[in-house]
Structure 1
Amino acid sequence: MRIVPENLADQATLTCAPTPLAEQPVTHLQDLRRQRMMRTVNAAEHVVSATWGAPQRISCIGLFGHNMRKSNARWRVELFSDDAWTNSVYDSSVIPMTVVKGFRALTWRVDTWRATIFSDRGSAFSVLWLEESFAIQSLRITLSDTANPEGYLEAYRLLAGLHWQPSRGPAFSATLQVNDPTELTATAGGTLAAVSRGAPTRKLSMELRWMTRDADARRLVEMLTNQGKRKQMLVSLFPGANTGEEIDHNILGRISDSPQIAIIHPQRARAKLTFTEG
């Protein structure tokens, strides 16, 4: 399990070339509101760049709510130690943006060959986990999906941050819940009718039973104090697995409870955490 408690991309200066639509600029990637999308004028290759006024240490980059759902969509993430994109410290090379469905997950005569886990969903997200952190002052993300059927590229959130990973993963009681805010009412004929509709969101609950008190518990307290419910976090139960299960348990949202951290042993602590998408 990994958590990115702070989105450093919100503090960066963003640019995009070619320039996106004026009413849907690249700065929308820093807006918490999901309806505030960045959208390009066409499906040509676009480059999103970010710079910071001072070095930042990151180990995770993500793009959320994008429409690059097909297997031919690619991206390239480059990190630089200076603010002029010259001193490279990491290059992902050109890699797929989505995970292709396994053979057993394909629906016979319905899914196309190399269908992805997002092929039948309204939007997708892509997350790149780095095995080590880098001190950077600029980054560059190249997006390539020239065959996009919608004729443009869009996304609603860019994430860049330093992840935290407890020394031991959560217990096997972790649960994923899909919340649908749609309200139902029974008609006179006995039919259940939807009186209001909303986008479903996921909720991920887990228990960290064997945290170290001197490292894990202290870092968790610091994270909850600094971020709390006020700011978005990224949590992944299976980071880097490159499977549909990783995607299902990857949530960009907020901690939705006030967890209690219990000391259960002279060297151990325990906490229950719940994250809600959005």
Structure 2
Amino acid sequence: MAACLLCWPNYADAASYSGGVWQTPLVNLRDRFLTKVARTAGLSLEATRFDVDLSRDRTIKVVAIPGHNLSPSARIRVRLFADAARTILRADSGWLDAWPAIFATADLEWEADNWWSGRVLAEDVARLPRSYLYVLPRQAFCRYLSVDLDDQANPAGYIDLARLVVAPGWEPLFNFSYGVGLGWESATLAETSLSGAEHFEERPPSRVVSFRLDYMNRVEATNQALAMTRALDVSGEVYFVFDPANLLLMQQRSFLGRLRQLSALEHVACNINGMAFEIKEVVA
């Protein structure tokens, strides 16, 4: 198990976009409301691609699309370049599944359509987080990105993308302590009538993770943990990756969120510092 990743700031929020053919503009990827999407005009490979200019060289560890309508057969390719002509390649994900395998063969019935692949089926999509995440093997330093999408069989006839995250990643020297909690928090409203019948107003749930980093030295604690809480407050966004080494579960345990509260930096012992974190997923 690798240490978690806390990814911020999101350089894509101030980037410029070009390329592809879009019904609604690509700049919607900068809007923090996930319901304001960028929508392609068709499904051709020429229409479903875009380029990103971060305005200057940046350190990049993750590229994520939190919110999309990609089908189970969709593929995504992310490339990072050092020059505007896109001839000096810094990183290339290759064509990857937008919905990677999430099931172990031992967990599936022999007759299941995805027994061999462990891939997501169309019937699984509704109950899974619609988020794509690419974690670079090592951080790259560059300014330009190209994102290509291949989903020519999408039944909607177009592709919706809610946000783009391009960010560096803080990987703590020591991972979170035992006792970390990851769960779903319901936002559904429930009321009971005079007869005792219950009525519900269903709303999308959010993932919430709570953990402690207990073994930070004073430099890491001050320049990373304390600086992050100051920069983000409770409104800024951070992309949380539970375990970047576990590809089978990474999509389900990683999400775009915000700090629910700001915790104090605790001096546990000589040059040993700790801090508690609680991150709530952004779902709309």
What secondary structure sits across from 1:207 in the alignment?
strand
- Kindly state the Cα deviation for residue 119 of structure 1 after the two structures are TM-superposed: 2.8
- What is the Cα deviation at residue 108 of structure 1? 7.3
2:142 alignment counterpart: 136
The one-letter code sitting in structure 1 at the alignment partner of 2:130 is A
1:174 to 173, 180, 200: 180
Q: 1:111 to 1:276 in 2, by over 3 A?
A: farther
Looking at structure 2, the residues matched to 185 and 110 of structure 1 have their Cα atoms a distance apart, in angstroms, of 39
Letter in 2 for 1:264: V
Structure 1 runs of 4+ off > 4 angstroms?
107-114
Are the equivalent residues in 2 in contact too, given 1:211–1:217 (CA < 8 A)? no
- Contact kept, 8 Å, 1:217 with 1:269, in 2: the verdict is no
| Distance change >3 Å, CA 112–CA 43, structure 1 → 2 | farther
> 1:109, CA displacement in angstroms?
6.4
Between 1:258-267 and 1:114-123, the stretch displaced more is 114-123
Distance 1:60 1:73 in 2: 20
- Specify the alignment match of 2:66 in structure 1: 64
Deviations 1:59-79 (A, max 9, x none): 111111112240x21111111
1:95 corresponds in structure 2 to: 96
- AA aligned opposite 2:63: I
Q: Structure 1 residues 104, 149: CA separation in 2 closer, same or farther (over 3 Å shift)?
A: farther
Question: In the alignment, which residue of structure 1 is the partner of 2:241?
Answer: 236
Match of residue 204 from structure 2: 199
How do 1:104-119 and structure 2 match up within 5 A? Answer: 104-106=106-108, 114=117, 115-116=119-120, 119=125
Secondary structure in structure 2 of the residue aligned to 1:140: strand
Q: Give the match's secondary structure for 1:66.
A: coil
CA RMSD of aligned residues (A): 2.0
SS state at 1:128 partner: strand
- Quote the Cα distance in structure 1 between the aligned partners of 2:204 and 2:248: 24
**Equivalence for 2:34:** 34
Identity over the aligned pairs, expressed in percent? 21
TM (norm. structure 2) is 0.89
Q: How big is each residue's C-alpha offset from its partner over 1:217-266, in whole Å with a ceiling of 9 and x where there is no partner?
A: 4311112112222311101111141113x223212010111111100111
2:128 and 2:252 in contact (8 A); partners too: no
Q: Does 1:272 align with 2:276?
A: yes
Equivalent position to 1:15, from 7, 14, 18: 18
* Amino acid across the alignment from 1:275: I
- Alignment coverage as a number of residue pairs: 272
